[in-house]
Structure formats: structure tokens, C-alpha cells
């Protein structure tokens, strides 16, 4: 398991890496500053014109605690580290969405276990990411090797993902999720406020995405709930629940922290055509 996770991580991720920002160090209006002029990430969280927390900004998942990835997946990942791209700092869930479950308590249903084994065997050469397909959810939220941007209005929130140039629209106008949606990589999202927490429910996924690098699958019945809580100017708690009763016997919880990338922005990333790396990857 450790060797498989190690090799997958970096072959899949490397095809899509890019510079993390444009207009570096361009001061963002309204950003609180320390006396030295740096963004004060511990300042009070901002409010939108309607009084709700303003989640706008460029966000990136917090690095893993030092030593956590080595402890969970072995030390071989250190061999793949390069400046600005260190897999030992990736979130633990990116490698294995079920990392918090003991092996004997895995909620993966037997009928999907074979699909997982097939995915795991070809993750270095045939995964959606290697084929330049979308990350899907919840991977797009927890992949900290590229940020995403939130643009907030009273009735709609747009989420722009740098990693594969995809986007989501979260509707806050009271509409319900579609009853018979056309299956999509990122599904369809509606949101509501519970106090200062934005609760987003998403459904209508296709079954082509992988929940993590190791290849855990999902069905079209998957539903995801995200809870965004901006606790101060520079930090946002994100709790994700993956609920797919067809593929998993119980919901899968994921908790990460998002860190504001102040005075920064996202880049366009395109990997749709002329992909040349996959043919050079050595099959296991």
C-alpha cells in the first residue's frame, strides 16, 4: 500500500503542476495589515454587505503537520520532493480518503472493492488526473498543490479551481437540487447559511471521478456536504461529508483547514489537449 501510494502521488500530480499565482504581491484592497505591512491573517473575518461572512479570496488547503505523511505512508515520498512541491506536505486524505478508518472497519462495499483494486493497479497510467480529466470532489477541495478562488455574491458563490481550470456555482437563492440531473464531474450545488457557517449540498455526480490518489471510486448516488466556517481573516475550517450509500456503508468525514493566499491570485491551467506525459510513464 505504501509503495503504491508513493508512486501514484507524484506521477499523477506532476502532470498538472503550475505556478501558484499571478500578480504576486499585488495588495488586495481591504486586507488588514501588520505594522510591517504584511497581511494580518489573524484579524477579524470580514462581512459581506448582507451581514454574512465574506468567504471571498484565494484559498489553499493547509499543509499536513510535519511528519504525519511519513508516519502514515512511509518515508519514500521524501524522494519526490522538489522546491514548492513536497508531497510530504499534502493532506493525508489526498492519498487515502479512508485514512481515518481502520482497515477492518473500511466502509467500502465489497461490490466496489474490485473496482478500487483495478483503479489502484493503474493509478500511475490511467487515472482521471493522468488523462487530464477533472479532479472532481472532494479532491478539488483538498488538493493543496494548487489554490482555488471564491467569489461571493448574496445569491451565488463561484468557486474557481486552478488545478484543472474547472469551476462550480453554489446557488444561495433557495432553489432545490435538481431531481434528474445530467451527471457532472463537480455535480450541482446549493447552499444556505447556518449562523456564520455556509452549508453546501452537492449531488448529480457522474461515476468517473476518484475520491483520492489511490483510486477509491464513487457512484452516481454520491452526495457531498461541505461546511465552510471562516474563523478569522486568514483561516477557514472546511468539514466535508461524503455520503454514497451505494459504494460505502457509512458516510466519510474529512476535515481540513483552508489558508488565505493573500495578495495573490490563480492561474489558468489547461491540460485538455496535446498531453504527452502518460505514454512515458512506466507501468507497474
Alpha-carbon distance of 144 to 121, in angstroms, equals 24
Q: What's the residue count for the chain?
A: 284
pLDDT at 130: 84
pLDDT at 166: 93
pLDDT at 12: 47
Grid-cell match 489553499, residue found:
60
User: Which pLDDT tens digits describe the chain residue by residue (284 residues)?
Assistant: 444 444 444 444 444 444 444 677 788 999 999 999 999 999 999 999 999 999 999 999 999 999 999 999 988 888 888 777 788 999 999 999 999 999 999 999 999 999 999 999 988 888 888 888 998 999 999 988 889 999 999 999 999 999 889 999 999 999 999 999 999 999 999 999 999 999 999 999 999 999 999 999 999 999 999 999 999 999 999 999 999 999 999 999 999 999 999 999 998 888 876 566 666 666 55
| DSSP helix/strand/coil, 280 | helix
DSSP 115: H
Q: Where are the alpha helices (DSSP H) in 56-210?
A: 68-73, 92-95, 110-121, 123-126, 139-142
pLDDT at 283: 59
pLDDT at 272: 72
67 HSE (CA, 13 A, CB side): 0
pLDDT at 280: 63
Q: Is 163 exposed, middle or buried (0-12, 13-18, 19+ CB in 10 A)?
A: buried
Cell of 89: 506536505
Amino acid at each position: 500500500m505504501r509503495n503504491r501510494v508513493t508512486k501514484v502521488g507524484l506521477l499523477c500530480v506532476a502532470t498538472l503542476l503550475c505556478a501558484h499565482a499571478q500578480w504576486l504581491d499585488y495588495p488586495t484592497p481591504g486586507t488588514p495589515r501588520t505594522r510591517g505591512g504584511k497581511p494580518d491573517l489573524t484579524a477579524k473575518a470580514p462581512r459581506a454587505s448582507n451581514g454574512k461572512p465574506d468567504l471571498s479570496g484565494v484559498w489553499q488547503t493547509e499543509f499536513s503537520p510535519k511528519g504525519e505523511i511519513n508516519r502514515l505512508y512511509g518515508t519514500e515520498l521524501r524522494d519526490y520532493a522538489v522546491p514548492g512541491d513536497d508531497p510530504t506536505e499534502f493532506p493525508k486524505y489526498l492519498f487515502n480518503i479512508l485514512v481515518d478508518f481502520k482497515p477492518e472497519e473500511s466502509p467500502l462495499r465489497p461490490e466496489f472493492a474490485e473496482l478500487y483494486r483495478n483503479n489502484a493497479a493503474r493509478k500511475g497510467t490511467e487515472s482521471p488526473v493522468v488523462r487530464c480529466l477533472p479532479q472532481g470532489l472532494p479532491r478539488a477541495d483538498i488538493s493543496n498543490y494548487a489554490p482555488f478562488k471564491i467569489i461571493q455574491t448574496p445569491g451565488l458563490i463561484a468557486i474557481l479551481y486552478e488545478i484543472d481550470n474547472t469551476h462550480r456555482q453554489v446557488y444561495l437563492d433557495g432553489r432545490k437540487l435538481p431531481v434528474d440531473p445530467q451527471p457532472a464531474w463537480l455535480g450541482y450545488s446549493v447552499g444556505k447559511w447556518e449562523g456564520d457557517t455556509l452549508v453546501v449540498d452537492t449531488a448529480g455526480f457522474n461515476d468517473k471521478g476518484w475520491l483520492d490518489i489511490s483510486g477509491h471510486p464513487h457512484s452516481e448516488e454520491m452526495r457531498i456536504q461541505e461546511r465552510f466556517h471562516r474563523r478569522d481573516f486568514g483561516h477557514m475550517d472546511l468539514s466535508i461529508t461524503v455520503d454514497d450509500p451505494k459504494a460505502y456503508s457509512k458516510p466519510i468525514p474529512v476535515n481540513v483547514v483552508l489558508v488565505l493566499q493573500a495578495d495573490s491570485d490563480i492561474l489558468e491551467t489547461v491540460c485538455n489537449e496535446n498531453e504527452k506525459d502518460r505514454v512515458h510513464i512506466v507501468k507497474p
